Amino acid sequence: MKETILLVDDELSYLELLKSILQQEGYTNVITESNPLNVPDLLRTQHIDLILLDIYMPQMNGLQLLEQITPEYPNIPVIIVTAVDDKEIALEAIKFGAYEFIIKPPDTDRLLLTIRRAIGYKLLERERDVLRAEGSVQKVDDNKFANIITDSDTMHRVFNLVEIFAPTNETILIVGETGTGKDLVAKKVHDLSPRKNKPYVAVNLASISPSLFESELFGTVKGSFTGSTNDKQGYFESANGGTIFLDEIGELPKELQGKLLRAIQYNEIFKIGSSSPIKLDIRIIAATNRDLADAVNKGLFRADLYYRLNRGHISLPPLRKRGNDVLLISNHLIKVANTTYNKNILGLTREAIAQLRNYPFPGNVRELENIIFNSVVQSDDNQRLNAVEIPKTVDGKETELQKSEILISLEEAEKKHIVNVMGILNNNVRKAASILGVSERTLQRKLKKIREE
């Protein structure tokens, strides 16, 4: 293999042993270094793809070296391999940018698997950096995402990330408000991955009773509790070979977070009542509408688990930030509702369009679906929806999102008004300019600015 791996450890015998193991595996370019002080110069003169780094060395602490080199070489994965099993040090290493923390002497299979994943992660990071440069949007094959209706650059950036992450085995954390389609994106990652013909198991952790979390996720063996007459397969074992999607990961109890972390690190689980591990080949995708970083700061979510889940990060925009998507999705939902309820609603009137454009959709696409379906059911056939059932309050109070839509700058209000008028007039610039009281040239300039934003 062409990748160049740098081994940094003050034990010369261990360096030679590890180099031999890697060369037998096909990694022909292995550089050894017993003095960590020499590493910065090595990185400046050599192309390094991966570093295996010890912590306790007399010349320099490995954490100090990691903290020094990570800002300058953020795309070189660093695997910490040390003889001391210290959770605090492991967490510090991950915070400083380490890819993984492994205890000496490492299990060879696990070490080689981690190296392969880390090298793949480097390629993934490189592609993601290109994608993020200047907010660029790469062309995607729209047929791959035909079930996700959008004309938004923000969503196309999401599609770019899905295409980058899908071929890898990295864990992925999908974040976004309720109703933004996190489950659709997770399934799309699976469908575009090499595991597409293997099981895909979706688990909503918020729907599982806390007392049943462990048995539901990892399974039980016969006799592990009263009435247990057979072995029970958990969700993880059911997904073996494929992908498990853990929705609402923020609901996972603290005491089970360590067991999930172990499942990620060692690719194995223990059923309740068994001391024998079950080896798994599984990809984990998690999702949440919570701020997990804040939960970590408050001690509610394990930092080491958060960092490992967040190897691949996909953030879904709320519907109110997706421009014309609200109308595209509404028209699609009208067709679906017509079929479901045997109706013949022809579309939306200008008044209904204005309603939808001005509503903040705290429940996002899921709420829009409810609104359209309810409105279709209550409307007469062979006409357009003249009005839609927009909720005005929640528990009798104005929603925070509604307040935020009112408390905006004049510039933002003007932009929203222009977008609304253009939508109602089917993008007729001449008519819109007349209604808005500006010249066509001025309107074109304002529209150009809006699109660039």
Q: Residue range 399-428: average pLDDT?
A: 65
Cis peptide before 105, with omega less than 30 degrees from 0? yes
Q: Supply the CATH classification number for the domain 147-317.
A: 3.40.50.300
| CATH, domain range 4-128 | 3.40.50.2300
- Token look-up 């490995």 returns 62
- pLDDT band, residue 407 (cuts 50/70/90): low
Structure tokens at 342: 């045997």
Where is mean pLDDT largest: 1-5, 237-241, 327-331, 412-416? 237-241
Alpha-carbon radius of gyration of the chain: 27
The whole-number average pLDDT for the span 266-292 is 91
CA distances (Å), origin 302, targets 79, 93, 171, 252, 297: 20, 15, 16, 10, 9
d(CA 189, CA 183): 10
Question: What distance in Å separates the CA atoms of residue 38 and residue 57, rounded to the nearest whole number?
Answer: 13
Within the chain, all domains assigned CATH 3.40.50.2300 are found at: 4-128
pLDDT band at 265 (very low <50, low <70, confident <90, very high): confident
Q: What pTM, to 2 d.p., does this model score?
A: 0.67
> Is the pLDDT reported for residue 453 higher than 60?
no
Range with top average pLDDT, 132-136, 302-306, 432-436: 302-306
Structure-token pair, residue 79: 């695997």
The predicted-structure confidence for 93-105, as pLDDT tens digits, reads as follows 877 778 888 888 7
Say if residues 89 and 54 touch (Cβ distance below 8 Å): no
Smallest CA-to-CA distance from 374 within 416, 343, 414, 397 is with: 343
How many C-beta atoms lie closer than 10 Å to residue 207's C-beta?
A: 10
Query: Range with the lowest mean pLDDT among 60-64, 162-166, 433-437?
Result: 433-437
The helix/strand/coil state of 3 is coil
Asked: is 320-452 a CATH 3.30.1490.20 domain? The reply is: no
Q: Rounded distance, CA 145 to CA 6, Å?
A: 40
Range 233-259 average pLDDT: 93
- Provide the pLDDT for residue 333: 92
- CATH 1.10.8.60 positions along the chain are 320-452
> H-type helices in 96-152, by residue range?
108-132
Q: What percent of the chain has pLDDT over 70?
A: 87
Say what the pLDDT of residue 235 is: 95
Residue 451: predicted pLDDT? 66
- Name the residue with higher pLDDT: 398 or 441: 441
* Averaged pLDDT of the chain: 83
